[in-house]
A = this chain, B = another copy of it.
Amino acid sequence: MAANLVKAGHEVTVYNRTPGKVQALVERGARAAARVADACQGDAVITMLADDAAVEGVVFGETGGVIGSLGEGAIHISMSTISAALSQRLAAAHTNAGQRFAAAPVFGRPDAAAAAKLFIVAAGAPDALDACSPLFAAMGQKTIHISNEPPAANLVKLSGNFLIASVIEALGEAMALVGKAGVDGHRYLDLLTSTLFTAPVYKSYGALIAERKFEPAGFAAALGEKDIRLTLAAAETLRVPMPLASLLRDRFLTLLAHGGEALDWSAIGQLAAKDAGLGDPPSGSRG
């Protein structure tokens, strides 16, 4: 994503806790920041981090955090998959500090990010989003302005991962059922994905489940569990019962309880088969 910003002609200063990780970007024309504060001197700062704690650490850090370093009127664009609650806190904190805030999480795997093909779900004040649009254009194939309230974008992102995990669970149960009846998994998937379920998620996750190939992880189970947890937390605040999300939570906990943190999150799609007495329990050691 940063490389695409550089390529589009923006001046980019990059910071990463692990200095070596920015080297490739520096070679393409970015500047390396020694501290978070050094990356906050422009018109906008983009955060793309693993979870709420990482974002909180970078933004609210006592000295040299984003809040303490960003100029008046400058924009913090949060592109991480974080909780709606933290997004709300960030929006309030930036407003208090005379800064602007936009939530802009993305859909797309690493290869889509590299190709500037991300889908960007943006929420924030219209003027802030307008100001961000050249940046979004450099990173994604499409930006959807979903709401004026930043947390809405984070909620939509979480809900998207909930929907994907639902597909994994549904496929897992269906494949356990027909598999136990003797139907070949690949033939079954060919049928599904050439007829009703042509979306890429069915093809890609169906294949992983059929082949029981959960390593290396495209998206780790520990992150999947986190996103379902954040979905349920938002649902609790909003008082929205989500029984399917609860089922997914239990699936992820079962997977993690058996050492599956580092497997691809589609490994929850094996649990129905396991409960049905098919094959082996999931484990970190299975290739």
A contact residues vs B (CB 8 Å cutoff) = 84, 107, 119, 121, 142, 144, 146-147, 149, 151-152, 155-156, 159-160, 162-164, 166-167, 169-171, 173-174, 176-178, 180-183, 187-188, 190-192, 194-202, 229, 231, 234-236, 238-247, 249-251, 253-254, 256-259, 272, 275-277, 281
Contact = CB atoms under 8 A, between A and B. Distances in A.
Nearest to A252: B241
Contacts of A187: 144, 146
Contacts of A190: 144
A64 to B, nearest CB: 25
A267 to B, nearest CB: 14
A272 B253 CA distance: 11
A250 to B, nearest CB: 4
Contact of A149 (B151, B166, B182, B246): B182
A188 to B, nearest CB: 7
A156 B191 contact: yes
Contacts of A174: 159, 162-163
A181 B155 contact: yes
A155 B169 CA distance: 18
A183 B259 CA distance: 22
Given A166-B170, A176-B240, A183-B156, A198 B196 contact: no
B181 A173 contact: no
A244 B277 CA distance: 18
A188 B146 contact: yes
A223 to B, nearest CB: 15
Contacts of A162: 170, 173-174
A183 B235 contact: no
Contacts of A256: 239
Contact of A238 (B151, B160, B181): B181
A183 B147 contact: yes
A275 B246 contact: no
Given A181-B84, A276-B257, A242 B238 contact: no
Nearest to A179: B240
A159 B191 CA distance: 12
A210 to B, nearest CB: 14
A146 B183 contact: yes
7 contacts: A146-B187, A152-B183, A156-B188, A167-B167, A229-B236, A239-B253, A259-B277
A254 B275 contact: yes
A152 B170 contact: no
